[in-house]
Amino acid sequence: MVRSTKYEDGRLPDEAENRAFNNAASAAPASILAGMLVYGGAGWLLSRWLHVPALLPIGLVLGLVFGFYLVYVRYGR
C-alpha cells in the first residue's frame, strides 16, 4: 500500500516537514551566495572591460539584493 505524502487536512508528516525545512534552510544562503557570485562576476567582467572599478561593488550589492528577494519570494510569502 502506498502512503500519501499529506494528511487528510493537508499537513505534511513530521519527517517531510523536517526535510522541507532543512531544504529551505540550505537553499536560502545558497541563493544569496549564488546571486552575489553571478552579479559580482558580471560586475567584475564589466569593470575589467570598461575600466570602471565601481561596477564590481555594484554587481555584488545587486546580487545580494536579488538573492534576498529570491529567498523572500520562495519562502517568505
pTM of the model: 0.71
CA–chain centroid gap for 76, Å, is 12
Q: What average pLDDT does the segment 47-58 reach?
A: 96
Task: Give the confidence band of 65 by pLDDT, cuts at 50, 70, 90.
Answer: very high
pLDDT at 26 over 90: no
